[in-house]
Structure 1
Amino acid sequence: MPVLLQIVFGSALLLVCAMLHILVIGRMVRHLRHHDHFDASRSTRHQMIVTGALFLVLLGSHTVQIYISAFTLWISGALPGYEAPIYYSLVTYTTVGYGDVVLDPEHRIMGAMISVTGILMFGMTTAVVVGLFTRILGEKDL
């Protein structure tokens, strides 16, 4: 696959994953604002349960993005089967990059784009979690 085509596919993958993650975060924030789960009158237990649920929703979003990346690798012929693309996408998206499964030169840029996608999506997740904890801890007397 030519480099330009890899960049186009990688950019499209990044855009799809970003839009998915933004949609999930946006709906989550809208729900939280509408129901005010972190109001000072709510119990700490309630807030912990809601925070745990939010973590699961964000984890679910990342998992779907990893599967989208794996599907892209599989459909482009970069990796055979289903286990290798999922494994490669997981270790690349999380930037662990063990190196035991590698892409051939015709698909290497795709791997780098998956890594960039993971970095950006985890950055968004971190921003949401920090904002959430800032709000929760700001309303509590420590």
Structure 2
Amino acid sequence: MLQGAAVRTMLFVGIALYALADRTLACPAYPVTDFCHRHQRELDMILGNFAIGLPVMLLCIAIQAGVSFWCVRHYIRCVRKRQDGGATNPGIRPLLTAMIAMMAGTLVQVGLWGLLFVWLGEFSEFYEAVYHSAVNFASLGYGDIVMRKQWKLLGPLEAINGVLMLGMSAAALMAILQHLIKMQVREDS
């Protein structure tokens, strides 16, 4: 049931994007036509930003999900092994490992956005592209570097992506921390 609803939603979104991209569908023969013709360049830029930004967002989601699931599994495996050995606080080292892995996953995602910005010709130096990407990903919004109008919408897309991915990292780390606290309470009882 849920899968069918997801497929219908994706189909609807695909048709809507196609309608916006196709000038004959996006600009029917009624008053909206004038608006569409006057703003077709902006609509094209919006669709271009989405067409490039959304696949990068999906790649980031795949990276984040993989890192998050690995971290939780790694933590549980390590804790189970050490519980049998009688080590005190068996979850601290795997928690730190998970934090480092999450940070590495975040840095890879920031680097991917930076590579995209270099590929689009927005930056000639990779360092500047990664700096701009990190500012967007962390939702800092310094504003010291502004991309050209054509690709400006990628900044907010990356910020949305960053908020979601950092939230996912926080949720995974919180799950690990909750498990660690429960283990400590059991040991103290």
TM-score by length of 1: 0.89
**Structure 2: where are the runs of 5+ without partners?**
1-43
Identical aligned residues as a percent: 18
Partner of 1:54: 98
Q: Secondary structure at the match of 1:43?
A: coil
| Paired position in structure 1 for 2:129 | 85
- The aligned amino acid for 2:66 is L
Counterparts in 2 of 1:32 and 1:50: CA distance versus 1, 3 Å: closer
| 1:22-48 CA-partner distances (Å, limit 9, x unpaired) | 11112222333334357595422x422
- Counterpart AA for 2:126: Y
For 2:142, give the aligned amino acid. Y
Residue aligning to 1:26 = 69
Q: Which runs of 5+ in 1 are unaligned?
A: none
Give the greater-gyration-radius structure (CA). Answer: 2
Residue in 2 that maps onto 1:43:
88
How large is the RMSD of aligned CA atoms in angstroms? Answer: 1.9
Question: How many residues end up aligned between the 2 structures?
Answer: 141
> For residues 1-142 of structure 1, what are the structure 2 equivalents within 5 Å?
2-37=45-80, 39=83, 41-44=86-89, 46-141=90-185
Kindly state the Cα deviation for residue 80 of structure 1 after the two structures are TM-superposed: 2.3
Q: Highest relative contact order (Cα 8 Å, sep 6+), 1 or 2? A: 1
Amino acid of the residue matched to residue 89 of structure 1?
S
Encode CA deviations 1:63-103: one digit per residue, 9 max, x unaligned: 00000000001101122221211110011101111111111
Give the TM-score, by structure 2 length: 0.68
